[in-house]
Structures are given as structure tokens and as C-alpha cells.
Chain A
Amino acid sequence: MRLVALCALPALAAAMAFATSARRFVRWRIGVLVAVAATHLALVATLWIVPAAPVLGGWLAADALGLIVLTLTSVLFFAATLHAVGYLRRERQRGGRVFVGGLLGFLCATSLVALSQHLALLWVGLEATTFTVAPLIFHRHDRRSLEAVWKYLLISSVGIALALLGLFFLATAQTGVAGRPLVLSDLLAHARDLHPAWLHAAFLFLLVGFGTKMGLAPMHTWKPDTYGEAPSLVSGLMAGALTSCAFLGVARITQVTMAARMGPFVQPVLVGFGLLSLAVAAIFIIGQGDVKRLLAYSSVEHMGLLVLGLGLGGIGAYGTVLHVLNNGLAKAWLFLVVGNVVLATGSSAAAANRGLVRTLPISGALLVLGLFAVTGSPPFGLFLSEFTILRAAFGAGHPWIAVLMLLFLAIIFVGMAVMILEMALGEPEPRAGHAPESWWLLAGPVGLAAAVLLLGVYIPGPLQHALTIAATALGGTAP
């Protein structure tokens, strides 16, 4: 019942937001948005205390991996909603109908992805995310955002179509095998009977298809443009929640292939995509001039780390699941802070924003802290998860993977630090005043920063339990 409500509530609210056309309802719509985000978060919290039974014939269930992604999505959505209140107050030129409706539709679609135990349903959810975020990316209605939304729609539609073909291949691999078609638990129970050649083909197509939605290199080309042009809170939701949901798709097919004992085929492919993404991020991060595009390449980097850990197996799988949480929280944190900067100065170009610690003291400080968090410095959570993946690389007997990973991470750290430190500590424009910072705009990033810090020093018991189960499901172990 709660599982259905998690998907249905945002869908109903989205329909209501679209239905109320008049500009008079602006405040009412924002109220609905905040209420739905808070209710969603509260419902997800109850799932940790009292687990919910599977519903709809086992098509919807909250297993450990899905629950982790769902919780991340819900937390990020709540933080982004608080930010949206402040954002819509400043950007009042539109009624916010499409914006609020799109956000709520996005929450519905991502919840569906996180809870689906039927892979076709998961695909429908991911497909729905594409067209719910498209109007959000196009929010500014200018040429550059139009170009970005066109690239995003075309590339991710082709990607999601290839994933559909992969699903058909998977169903073909299942022909003559016991169990319901494309239902995860049945696939896992009879994984050894699946047709190996078709399963190989299904894995490759699903990895490329969902990898496109994740933004793995070389399918990442939409990412800098989309994150650069979308409103920052939308970029934050995409980089934190949407990519994690797409990763869940990759994780599901990895679960099936690992249960079918196909590790020797699957793992090198995952490691290859991971290292390529790290390399591409390292190359393009050097010399970036725009902080949102910089963060987009940082997102390519972290997607690479996720599949790298998955491919290494062992404790790498644990590191990956933990990294899903850490990366999602940190990316949303940074994008929301950058959103504050853009609201104050009207630009995300590094050259237009100098001396932020003086002009926007709280946001500037959060930006510098975020730099250290997102590049994996202790004591933040990302250090822990990246270090676990690194240990997996050494432990699996591939020291060269670990060396390459360290090299790329070092380049990325330098590239990001040069730009962000200059933005924060440089000499501000003489006429730049002391802009006020609203608490609506700061609450989200402050809360997310606290969560990333907490995950770096202490992992709560129930979460540790869920991480262990999820890592085991992905063919790995807890450290």
C-alpha cells in the first residue's frame, strides 16, 4: 500500500499542478510541492522501520538496493524542493505550473524505477524520467537551453530504445525457462538456465542503454550541455537522483548476470567503461570555464567509479553501493550551492564569480567544502567509498587499475581545485555587493553536507545492514 502511494501520490499531485493553469495558484502549487516532498520522505522513512510487503503480484517491492536508491531520491527531492521555493520566489516570470508539475512527475518516475522488480516496469519508469525532466531543462526558454534539451532528448531516447532491445533479448534468453518473464526474483532463481549468448547480448545492450542515461563515457556527450543549461536544482536532481536510478538499471542486469556466473564476461566490460569515464572526465575537467559543466564532468567521473567498483566485485560492490549514496548527496549539494551563486550573479562562468567567500559567505564556504567532499577527501563519505573501491582494485590483483584510478582522481582534483578555489578566494569585482542569502536556498545544501559528513564518520546500523545485503546481491561482500 505504501509502495503504491509512493508512486501514485506524486503522480496525482503532478496532475493537479498541471490542471491549475491560473497564475493565482502559484503559492498553492508550491505548497503542494513541499507537502508531497515531505510526505514522500516520511513514507520512505517508515520503510526502514517497518518493511513493506511486495505488492502488485511482486512487481513492486523495496529490496535493499532499491530502498537505498529510493531513500537517496527522496532526500534529494526534499532538499531540492526547499531550494525550489527560494528559486521560484526569485524567478517569478512564469507561473511555475510546468516546473512544479515536471518535478512531481520526476519524483513519481524515479520512485517507480527504485521500486520496480519487473524490469519492463523499471524501463517504463526510466523512460518517463526523460520526458518529465525535458521541460525542466527547457525552463529558461532560450536558444542554449533549447539546444541542450534537444541533445538530451535525442541521445537519451536512442539510449533508452537500445535498452528496450536489451530487454527483448533478455526475454528471449528466458524462453523455455521457468518463472515469470522479466521479473527479477524469477530471473535470479533460474539464472543458470538462461541462454548464455542472448544473456550476453542483453547485458551489453542494457549497459549501453542505461549507461547513456547514467552518462557513462562515451555516451556522456549530453551531460555537460544539459547540466550546464538546466536550472541548477534540476541539474542537481539529475546528477544525484536520475543517474542513480539509471545505475540501478545497470545494477539489476549485473545482478542477473552474476547469478548466472557470468562474472568473467561482465566484469572486464564494466571495468573498461569505468576507466574510460574516469579518463574522459580527467581530460575535459582541465581548463573548464563554467562551474556547472565542470560538475557535469565530475558526474561522468563518479559514474565511472560506480561501474568500476561493480566490475571489480568483492568489496568493490559494497564501495559502489555506498558511493551511490555519497555521490548523490554530494552532487546535489554542490549543484544547489552553484544555484545560489547563479541566482546572485546571473552566471555560472568562473570568470564572473570571484571572491565568493566575501560576496556570498555561506554559499562560498559550502562550495569550498563541497570541492573537498566531491574529490574524495577525508573526512567526507566519498573518501570512504572511493577508498573501498581502491582497496578492491588492489585486492582483486589488478594494481594497474588502482594506479590508473589514482592518477585520474589526482588530475581531476587539481582541475576542480584550480577553478573552485579561484571562484571562492579570488579578488571580487569591485562593485560586487554583499548579496543576501535566503534560508530556503541554504537549508538544502547545509543538510546534504551534514549527511555526507555523517556517512564519512559513522554508518548507522540499518544502513550498514542494507549495504551488506545489496553488495551480496551484486556478487560482492562487505569489508
Chain B
Amino acid sequence: MHTAPQLVLLLIMLTNFAVLGTTRLSTCIRAVALQGLLLGVLSLLLARQFTLHAGALALGTVAVKAVALPWFLEWAIREASVRREIEPLVGFNASLLLGALAVALAFAITARLPLPGLREELLVPISLATVIIGFIVVTGRRKALTQVVGYLMLENGIYLFGLTQTDSMPFLLELGVLLDLFVVVFVMGIVIFHINREFDSLDSARLEELTD
């Protein structure tokens, strides 16, 4: 019924909802790891021909987004022994509803922004939906770790959009995206480590001494 890229995109959409609907942090991390793997596969499927560049990009994406970062986040939850997201600012049912709205919004925006010469119609709406859902997770959850997962989803959505541009964009930028992701999470990781040591929990809602 569908072509392979469409199937992969739909799976990416499902991983988004998996993160929105679960309380278990390890499920969130696995979902975002799977999403990283799917991104790598998709970048290969969408390449016009198999070049060294396309292969390296797919391999690098999988290595960073599906292996290194999830491994690091798993390490962080073991260190901090947190299991669940408790009392999120936006409830789980409300998050799922917002996620559905995000998808509708993404399709509505795409209809107004025509993209000439696109190989895969679903790419733009699903990329925008992933960005918005990532934003919902960053702002709607309390645990520092879940916020990082949300940030990764947001970056994944941007990466998806970047796949429409692989022909015209310079190599530098793809490298920049991966590097950025790695460094930011590295820095965030150090901070998470300190939050854990200082507060005995990764609850960023405890960080509320600074208010007006």
C-alpha cells in the first residue's frame, strides 16, 4: 500500500506518540533511539543514488542518534535511578491530544508552503509535526531527562526537514547538526550530573529558587 519511505515516516510519527503517551523514561529513550535509527534509514532511502556521502551521513546519524545519545541517557537514568515522569505539567492524555493537533497543524502549514521537486510528500508535514511535538515535550515535562528527550525529538524533526535539502546544502551543515547535537547533550549531560548530585533527583521543577 505504501512505499518504503512512507512507511518509515509513519513509524517516526508513531515513535513521537510513544514518547507523548508514556510515563517510563526508558521507553521514551528507546522510542527516541528508534527514531534516530529510522532517520538514518530514511536518509539512505531518499538518496538519489548511493554515494559515499549518503552512506557516511546515514551511518553517522545512526551512530549518534540511535546509539551514542540513547546510551548516554540510559546511563544517566541508571546513575540517577529515576524511572518515571511524575506529575508532568501537561498530562499524558492532554499531551496526546496536543500531539494530534500538532499533526493537523503541520499538514495545514504544509498545504500553504509548496515545495518544488519534493520526492516524498509526507516528509515536510511529519518533520514539522515532530518539531512541534518535541517542543510540547520540552515545555510540558518536569524531569530534566525527559526535556532532553524532547530536545532530541525537536532536532530530529529539523533533521527530517533538512533531508529535503541534501542536494543544495553544503556538507558542513550536516556535520554541524550532528556535532551540535553531540556537544549540546554532552554539556547538558554534565549539568544533569550536577543536578543529580545537588538535588538527589532529576526533577527540574525543584529548580525554582530563582523567581520574580
Chain A interface residues toward B at CB < 8 A: 120-121, 123-124, 127, 130-131, 134, 138, 141, 143-144, 146-151, 153-154, 157-158, 161, 164-165, 167-168, 171-172, 174-176, 181, 197-198, 201, 224-225, 228-229, 284, 288, 293
Residues on the B chain within 8 Å of A161, using CB? 151, 154-155, 158
Q: Is the CB of B204 within 8 A of A150?
A: yes
Chain B nearest CB, measured from A164 CB (Å): 5
- Interface pair A175/B184, CB less than 8 Å apart: no
| Pair count A-B, CB < 8 A | 104
Residue with the greatest number of chain A CB neighbours at <10 A, chosen from B157, B172, B212: B212
Q: Say whether, besides A150-B191, A150-B207, A175-B116, A165 and B158 are in contact (CB < 8 Å).
A: yes
Q: Is B60 an interface residue (CB 8 A)?
A: no
A224 with B151: CB separation less than 8 A: no
Asked whether, in the complex, the Cβ of A153 is within 8 Å of the Cβ of B184, the reply is yes
Partner of B168, one of A153, A181, A229: A181
**A150 and B144 contacting across the interface, CB-CB below 8 Å:** yes
21 residue pairs bridging A and B, Cβ less than 8 Å apart? A120-B173, A121-B172, A143-B198, A144-B210, A147-B207, A147-B208, A153-B184, A154-B138, A158-B138, A161-B158, A164-B177, A165-B157, A165-B158, A168-B158, A168-B161, A171-B169, A174-B168, A175-B168, A181-B169, A197-B113, A229-B210
| Contact assessment for B209 and A143 in the assembled complex, using a CB-CB cutoff below 8 Å | yes
Contact with A along B158-190 (1 / 0, CB 8 A): 100110110011101100110010011001100
Q: Tell me if B138 and A144 are in contact (CB < 8 A).
A: no
| Residues in A neighbouring B184, C-beta threshold 8 A | 130-131, 153, 157
Q: Which 9 A-B pairs have the closest CB atoms?
A: A147-B207, A225-B210, A131-B187, A165-B158, A120-B173, A168-B161, A181-B168, A171-B165, A124-B176
Instruction: Label chain B's interface by main secondary structure.
Output: helix
**A193 to B95, alpha carbons, bound, how many Å?**
41
Q: Closest Cβ of chain B: how far from A426's Cβ, in Å? A: 23
Q: Name the prevailing secondary structure of the A interface residues.
A: helix
Known interface pairs A172-B115, A225-B210. Does A146 touch B195 (Cβ–Cβ under 8 Å)? yes
Q: Give, as a whole number of angstroms, the nearest-CB distance from A438 to chain B.
A: 30
Q: With CB as the reference atom, state the residue of chain B lying closest to A176.
A: B116
Q: Is B135 an interface residue (CB 8 A)?
A: yes
The count of chain B contact residues (Cβ–Cβ below 8 Å) is: 43
Chain A residue contacts of B191, Cβ below 8 A: 134, 138, 146, 149-150, 153
Determine whether the beta carbon of A131 is less than 8 Å from that of B169: no
Closest A residue to B144 by CB, please name it. Answer: A150
List, in ascending order, chain B residues with CB within 8 A of A167's CB. Answer: 173
**Nearest chain B CB to A287 CB, angstrom units:** 9
The reply to whether B147 and A154 form a contact with Cβ atoms under 8 Å apart is yes
B residues with a Cβ closer than 8 A to A are 112-117, 131, 135, 138, 144, 147, 151, 154-155, 157-158, 161-162, 164-165, 168-170, 172-173, 176-177, 180, 183-184, 187-188, 191, 194-195, 198-199, 204, 207-210, 212
Which residues of chain B are near A197, meaning CB under 8 Å?
A: 112-114
CB-nearest residue of chain B relative to A181? B168
Given contacts A131-B184, A157-B188, A168-B165, 14 further A-B contacts (CB under 8 A): A124-B172, A124-B180, A134-B187, A144-B210, A150-B144, A150-B195, A157-B151, A158-B138, A168-B169, A175-B117, A181-B168, A197-B112, A198-B113, A228-B210
Specify which chain B residues have a CB less than 8 angstroms from the CB of A123 in the assembled complex.
176
Chain A residues, Cβ within 8 Å of B209? 143-144, 147
A144 partner residues in chain B, CB cutoff 8 A: 209-210
Chain B residue at smallest Cβ distance from A283:
B212
Tell whether, in the assembled complex, residue B135 and residue A158 are in contact, meaning their CB atoms are under 8 Å apart.
yes
Tell me the nearest residue of chain A to B135, going by C-beta: A158
Set of chain A residues within 8 Å of B195, measured between Cβ atoms: 146, 150
B210 touches A171 (CB 8 A): no
Residues of B within 8 A of A181 (CB): 168-170
A171 and B170 alpha carbons, distance in the complex (Å) = 11
Do B147 and A148 have beta carbons less than 8 Å apart?
A: no
Taking CB atoms, residues of chain A closer than 8 Å to B204 are 150
B188 contacts A153, C-beta separation under 8 Å: yes
**Bound Cα distance from A174 to B177, whole angstroms:** 20
Closest to B194 in A: A146
Judge whether B177 and A120 touch: CB under 8 Å.
no
CB neighbours (8 Å) of A225 from chain B are 210
